[in-house]
């Protein structure tokens, strides 16, 4: 399956404008033959929306979710996008998978720093999965993937691919996480890890970019630069890595 990873910038507070950008990127991804488009963390409200986040939050079946479903349906692919979810009297930092008919939501379980903790309630650590196009996908968000237990949970649930919408800030740690940690997560679990970061600056944060597609053997299939918007298109073929899985039997040998 071809999958598109969009490294994008968002305008904080401009949900309609950010939806238009997703629509345009979805058109490019579909034209390239992709059947799934992964976009960054909180791409709809903009990660830097700060106190406006609560006003921009919506339930999964609200207008934002409907707009994403319409984009997915019109372009014939699934879309994964970060949004501020209003549910249970709280706001969650969430990722929505939609193929136009189905909606699967994952709530970020590990919030990063005082900024996120002041805006969101953490979701429970869980294996949020969805099957699409013959592959099984798992969802995490940004800081979640930096805890190995979270990727391992999805691997033990049988996923082929881990999708990670991200808002990684620029800096030395960002380079290490994006370039080195992501391939390790893929290798130690023998899964694909797709990491889609915000890029540029929004007046509050500057992002690290370097969106990454890592294969089960730890190889880099695609890596974006640190600053500009980019659309990465990759062919995801689990059968290609059967030898790697046979040689690196971490899941089979794990003792818990």
Whether 51 is a known active-site residue: answer no
Whole-number Å distance between alpha carbons of 1 and 13:
34
SS3 153: helix
DSSP 207: B
Catalytic residue among 21, 35, 85, 108: 108
Do the Cβ atoms of 140 and 150 come closer than 8 Å? yes
Whether 235 is a known active-site residue: answer no
Whole-number Å distance between alpha carbons of 203 and 193:
29
User: Left (φ > 0), alpha (ψ -120 to 50) or beta: where does 46 sit?
Assistant: left
Catalytic residue among 85, 142, 146, 199: 142
Only one residue has tokens 């890890």, namely: 193
The two beta strands, 220-223 and 230-235, are: unpaired
Whether 35 is a known active-site residue: answer no
Q: What is the DSSP string of 13-73?
A: T-HHHHHHHHHHHHHHHHHTT-SEEE--TTTTT-GGGGGGHHHH-B-TTSHHHHHHHHHHH
Kindly calculate the radius of gyration of the chain based on its CA atoms and give it in whole angstroms: 17
Catalytic residue among 41, 58, 116, 146: 41
Q: What is the DSSP string of 166-182?
A: E-PBSSHHHHHIIIIIH
50: tokens are: 């700060």
SS3 76: coil
* Residues labelled catalytic: 41, 108, 142
């Amino acid at each position: 399956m071809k999958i598109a990873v969009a490294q994008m910038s968002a305008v904080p507070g401009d949900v309609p404008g950010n939806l238009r950008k997703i629509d345009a990127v979805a058109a490019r991804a579909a034209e390239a033959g992709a059947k799934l488009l992964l976009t960054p963390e909180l791409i709809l409200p903009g990660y830097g929306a700060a106190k406006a986040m609560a006003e921009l939050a919506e339930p999964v079946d609200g207008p934002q979710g409907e707009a994403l479903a319409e984009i997915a349906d019109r372009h014939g692919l699934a879309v994964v996008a970060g949004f501020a979810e209003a549910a249970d009297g709280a706001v969650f930092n969430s990722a929505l998978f939609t193929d136009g008919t189905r909606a699967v939501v994952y709530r970020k379980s590990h919030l990063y720093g005082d900024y996120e903790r002041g805006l969101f309630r953490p979701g429970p650590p869980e294996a949020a999965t969805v099957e699409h196009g013959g592959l099984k996908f798992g969802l995490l968000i940004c800081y979640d993937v930096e805890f190995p237990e979270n990727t391992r949970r999805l691997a033990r649930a049988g996923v082929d691919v881990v999708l990670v919408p991200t808002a990684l800030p620029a800096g030395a740690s960002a380079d290490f996480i994006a370039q080195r940690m992501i391939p390790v997560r893929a290798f130690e679990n023998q899964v694909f890890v797709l990491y889609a970061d915000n890029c540029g600056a929004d007046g509050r944060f500057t992002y690290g970019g370097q969106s990454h597609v890592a294969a089960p053997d730890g190889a880099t299939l695609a890596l974006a630069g640190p600053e500009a918007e980019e659309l990465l298109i990759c062919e995801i073929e689990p059968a290609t890595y059967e030898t790697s899985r046979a040689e690196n039997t971490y899941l089979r040998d794990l003792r818990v």
